[in-house]
């Protein structure tokens, strides 16, 4: 196979770049009997389809590994034949980077690696890199009534979500999804299979938790689990369109919620929440309390709403763990198919992290935000503003020495999401209006809401900051000098 790839290099130099390298890589993969799908195969189009249909790329090959060895061999083929590689787990990258982020990459689609095994002495789960969040939650619950903190959408994959943060309404209590990782099996650019933990291959362990796609393919995750709570309290306050009609009520309500969020006499690790608002003038605050509805109502609810406009509806309801996850998923089950997943959207989204040290959003900023969103929206969009910081939050008890993940010091994290046909300008405008109103604040961006409209340099600064990025860049040149693992914003791309 090496011969074919060498030949390719010659053809490339002669200017036949388009088809030749694919043939060489195909031959290499076929020679090593690695399961894969190629352009023109019956299953190729469905396998190539990303979650976000706005950005569709055509991989040169989609590898479907059943073993670690398949992944190792595929990475060696790609490296020899000059193909860029990206792992694909749930395929929910907002930028479709798991399709390569360009045409002609090798995608290693981990969906066949779907095992979940809970060790009932350590309570650590070994989980295949292609497992979706709903199946993960159900699996660890069924095997030992265990639970993990992660996002709400059951179709999202472990591979992207856990290596780039992973926020859910249990994160202020248990940490983000990434914090559950105690070990990783990873195939690196030289085709080696390594185990990385806090004491073994420590640099790689640090880098994979924040920038996995630039360092390897994680085939198995080892995850710390928590005892699933017997009961949780879900709460939601709805304001209908009240706050869209009244700037002062909008701003005062947010400012009170922000003061509340920083008030250690009512807020501790047991509570998480986020605000949802959208282009149809909906404004809700929803969240989770690790305790009973009676305790929530007596010690938290009165102070929560003391300084807000009066909600039009209040929901306070106890749930057991799995019914709670189903509620959060907005579906009737959290089980997801192991093959043939076929949910999609067509959208552009971006994020904004608001450092806690800034004190949060100012009155001026909130007024400017209201001015932007209060005029009837020309496009369908929603904004979610999740609480990361505040007293007792398990998210911000760690720092960047723990992992290559840099927005733990956020008070709020915004997600601004527009369903096409929105314009990029409209969604960018939400970010701009906030950033411009608060020039003294150093806003950042959240890795799991990856935004393809940034240049690599902008992305590195917003996601990592210069210190973490500098360390990642050094590790990239040591672990992957040929840039085998590549997408447009990968570590080392200028
Ligand atoms: C409907 C929806 C709901 C969401 N809800 C939440 C939420 O509640 N909270 C939250 O924090 N985020 C949420 N997100 C964002 C989500 O966390 C990210 O999109 C996440 O990165 C998706 O993971 P994935 O495995 O599905 O993506 P993929 O597209 O498969 O992967 C994303 C990136 O990670 C890399 N990668 C994937 N697997 C591996 C691996 N095994 N080894 C190395 N690199 C890998 C890929 O190459 C790609 O660059 C949501 C997204 C969607 C679309
Ligand atoms: C990728 O390939 C598809 C199908 O051949 C093509 O329609 C699309 O324009 C290509 N995209 C880029 C960025 O070249
Ligand atoms: C742990 O798992 C083993 C093997 O599956 C099983 O035999 C044993 O009963 C389990 N122990 C507990 C406490 O669940
Ligand atoms: C914090 O909450 C307590 C109630 O527990 C309340 O009395 C106090 O006024 C709040 N502090 C601020 C700054 O709002
Ligand atoms: C808690 O308060 C809400 C809103 O007032 C109410 O609907 C619910 O019945 C209360 N629950 C308990 C247990 O008091
Ligand atoms: C309002 O909701 C409808 C129905 O869900 C949707 O079609 C429309 O795009 C939304 N409009 C905006 C501006 O969000």
Residue-wise burial string across 4-24, b where 16 or more C-beta atoms lie within 10 A, e elsewhere? bbeebeeeeeeeeeeebbbbb
What pLDDT, on the 0 to 100 scale, is given for residue 50? 97
What pLDDT, on the 0 to 100 scale, is given for residue 392? 98
Q: Which two tokens stand for residue 55?
A: 């950005």
What pLDDT, on the 0 to 100 scale, is given for residue 422? 74
How do residues 231-251 score in pLDDT, each as one tens digit? 999 999 999 999 999 999 999
Instruction: Verify that 408 and 361 share a domain, yes or no.
Output: yes
Distance separating alpha carbons of residues 226 and 440, to the nearest angstrom: 40
Can you give the CATH number for the domain in which 48 is found? 3.30.43.10
What pLDDT, on the 0 to 100 scale, is given for residue 2? 34
Instruction: Verify that 261 and 367 share a domain, yes or no.
Output: yes
The ligand that comes nearest to the alpha carbon of residue 452 is: 1
Pocket lining: 51 vs ligand 1, CB cutoff 6 Å? yes
Does residue 372 have a pLDDT over 50?
yes
Give distance in angstroms: CA of 415 to centre of ligand 1: 14
Distance separating alpha carbons of residues 89 and 156, to the nearest angstrom: 8
Is 64 within the bounds of a domain? Answer: yes
How do residues 422-442 score in pLDDT, each as one tens digit? 789 999 999 999 999 999 999
Is 481 within the bounds of a domain? Answer: no
- Domain final residue, candidates 75, 109, 143: 109
Pocket lining: 30 vs ligand 2, CB cutoff 6 Å? no
Give distance in angstroms: CA of 54 to centre of ligand 2: 12
Pocket lining: 203 vs ligand 4, CB cutoff 6 Å? no
- Domain final residue, candidates 203, 228, 253: 228
Instruction: Verify that 196 and 180 share a domain, yes or no.
Output: yes
Instruction: Verify that 127 and 198 share a domain, yes or no.
Output: yes
Confidence category of residue 378, pLDDT binned at 50, 70, 90: confident
Pocket lining: 103 vs ligand 2, CB cutoff 6 Å? yes
Confidence category of residue 195, pLDDT binned at 50, 70, 90: very high
Instruction: Verify that 206 and 241 share a domain, yes or no.
Output: no
Is 156 within the bounds of a domain? Answer: yes
Is 326 within the bounds of a domain? Answer: no
Can you give the CATH number for the domain in which 357 is found? 3.40.462.20
The ligand that comes nearest to the alpha carbon of residue 380 is: 6
What pLDDT, on the 0 to 100 scale, is given for residue 377? 84
Instruction: Verify that 376 and 448 share a domain, yes or no.
Output: yes
CA distances from 428 to 15, 282, 437, 459 (A): 39, 20, 14, 15
Instruction: Verify that 105 and 128 share a domain, yes or no.
Output: no
Pick from 273, 448, 491 the residue to mutate for probing ligand 1's pocket: most ligand atoms within 8 Å of its CB: 448
Pick from 57, 96, 102 the residue to mutate for probing ligand 2's pocket: most ligand atoms within 8 Å of its CB: 57
Average pLDDT along the chain = 95
Compute CA 260 distance to the chain's CA centroid, rounded to the nearest angstrom. Answer: 27
What pLDDT, on the 0 to 100 scale, is given for residue 5? 45
Is 209 within the bounds of a domain? Answer: yes
Is 279 within the bounds of a domain? Answer: yes
Instruction: Verify that 291 and 242 share a domain, yes or no.
Output: yes
Total of domains in the chain: 3
CA distances from 223 to 11, 147, 194, 229, 286 (A): 46, 10, 17, 18, 27
Q: Residue length, the chain?
A: 494
Is 238 within the bounds of a domain? Answer: yes
Closest residue CA from atom 11 of ligand 4: 263
What pLDDT, on the 0 to 100 scale, is given for residue 11? 39
Does residue 349 have a pLDDT over 80?
yes
Choice among 12-21, 49-58, 291-300, 346-355 with the minimum mean pLDDT: 12-21
Distance separating alpha carbons of residues 337 and 202, to the nearest angstrom: 35
Q: Are 443 and 434 in contact (CB under 8 A)?
A: yes
Q: What is the mean pLDDT of residues 178-191?
A: 98
Can you give the CATH number for the domain in which 193 is found? 3.30.465.10
- Domain span at residue 164 reads 116-228
Pocket lining: 56 vs ligand 2, CB cutoff 6 Å? no
Does residue 209 have a pLDDT over 80?
yes
Q: What is the mean pLDDT of residues 439-450?
A: 98
Instruction: Verify that 94 and 189 share a domain, yes or no.
Output: no
Spatial neighbors of 492 by CB under 8 A, at least 6 apart, are: 214, 473, 476, 477, 480, 483
Distance separating alpha carbons of residues 494 and 475, to the nearest angstrom: 16
Instruction: Verify that 259 and 391 share a domain, yes or no.
Output: yes
Confidence category of residue 19, pLDDT binned at 50, 70, 90: very low
Q: What is the mean pLDDT of residues 299-319?
A: 97
Give distance in angstroms: CA of 118 to centre of ligand 3: 10
Q: Are 145 and 369 in contact (CB under 8 A)?
A: no
Pocket lining: 452 vs ligand 6, CB cutoff 6 Å? no
How do residues 470-480 score in pLDDT, each as one tens digit? 999 999 999 99
Give distance in angstroms: CA of 262 to centre of ligand 4: 10
What pLDDT, on the 0 to 100 scale, is given for residue 22? 72
Instruction: Verify that 212 and 167 share a domain, yes or no.
Output: yes
Give distance in angstroms: CA of 102 to centre of ligand 2: 8
What residues does 272 pair with on adjacent strands? 288
Could you identify the atom of ligand 2 that is nearest to the CA of residue 57?
A: 1
What pLDDT, on the 0 to 100 scale, is given for residue 67? 98
Confidence category of residue 215, pLDDT binned at 50, 70, 90: very high
- Domain final residue, candidates 109, 135, 153: 109
Compute CA 376 distance to the chain's CA centroid, rounded to the nearest angstrom. Answer: 30
Is 360 within the bounds of a domain? Answer: yes
% the chain with pLDDT above 70: 96
Instruction: Verify that 171 and 88 share a domain, yes or no.
Output: no
Pocket lining: 420 vs ligand 6, CB cutoff 6 Å? no
Give distance in angstroms: CA of 322 to centre of ligand 5: 22
């Amino acid at each position: 196979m090496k011969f074919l790839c060498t030949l390719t290099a010659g053809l490339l130099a002669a200017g036949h770049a388009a088809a030749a390298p694919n043939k060489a890589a195909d031959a290499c993969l076929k020679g090593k009997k690695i399961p894969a799908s190629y352009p023109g195969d019956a299953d190729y189009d469905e396998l190539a389809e990303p979650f976000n249909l706005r950005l569709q790329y055509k991989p040169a090959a989609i590898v479907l590994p059943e073993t670690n060895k398949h992944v190792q061999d595929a990475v060696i083929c790609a490296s020899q034949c000059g193909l860029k590689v990206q792992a694909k787990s749930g395929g929910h990258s907002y930028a479709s980077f798991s399709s390569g982020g360009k045409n002609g990459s090798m995608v290693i689609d981990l969906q066949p690696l779907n095992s979940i095994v809970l060790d009932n002495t350590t309570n650590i789960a070994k989980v295949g890199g292609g497992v979706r969040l709903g199946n993960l939650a159900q699996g660890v619950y069924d095997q030992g009534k265990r639970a993990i903190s992660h996002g709400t959408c059951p179709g999202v994959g472990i591979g992207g979500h856990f290596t780039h943060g992973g926020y859910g309404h249990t994160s202020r209590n248990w940490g983000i999804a990434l914090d559950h990782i105690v070990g990783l099996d990873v195939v690196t650019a030289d085709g080696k299979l390594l185990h990385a933990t806090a004491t073994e291959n420590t640099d790689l362990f640090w880098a994979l938790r924040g920038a996995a796609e630039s360092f390897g393919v994680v085939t198995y995750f080892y995850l710390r689990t928590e005892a699933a709570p017997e009961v949780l309290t879900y709460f939601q306050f709805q304001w209908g369109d009240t706050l869209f009609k009244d700037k002062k009520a909008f701003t005062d309500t947010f400012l009170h919620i922000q003061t509340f969020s920083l008030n250690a006499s009512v807020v501790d690790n047991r509570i998480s929440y986020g605000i949802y608002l959208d282009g149809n003038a909906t404004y809700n605050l929803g969240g989770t309390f690790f305790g009973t509805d009676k305790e929530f109502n007596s010690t938290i609810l009165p102070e929560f709403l003391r300084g807000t406009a009066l909600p039009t509806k209040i929901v306070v309801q106890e749930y057991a763990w799995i019914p709670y996850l189903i509620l959060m998923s907005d579906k009737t089950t959290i089980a997801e198919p192991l093959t043939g997943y076929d949910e999609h959207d067509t959208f552009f989204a971006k994020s904004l992290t608001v450092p806690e040290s800034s004190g949060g959003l100012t009155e001026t900023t909130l007024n400017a935000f209201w001015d932007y969103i209060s005029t009837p929206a020309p496009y369908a969009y929603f904004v979610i503003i999740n609480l990361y910081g505040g007293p007792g939050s398990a998210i911000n008890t760690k720092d960047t020495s723990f992992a290559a993940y840099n927005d733990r010091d956020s008070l709020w994290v915004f997600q601004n999401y527009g369903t096409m046909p929105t314009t990029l300008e409209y969604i960018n405008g939400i970010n701009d209006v906030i950033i411009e109103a608060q020039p003294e604040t150093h806003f950042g961006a959240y890795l799991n809401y990856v935004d393809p409209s940034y240049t690599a340099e902008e992305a590195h600064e917003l996601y990592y900051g210069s210190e973490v990025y500098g360390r990642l860049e050094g590790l990239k040149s040591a672990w992957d000098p040929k840039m085998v693992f590549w997408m447009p914003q990968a570590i080392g791309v200028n």
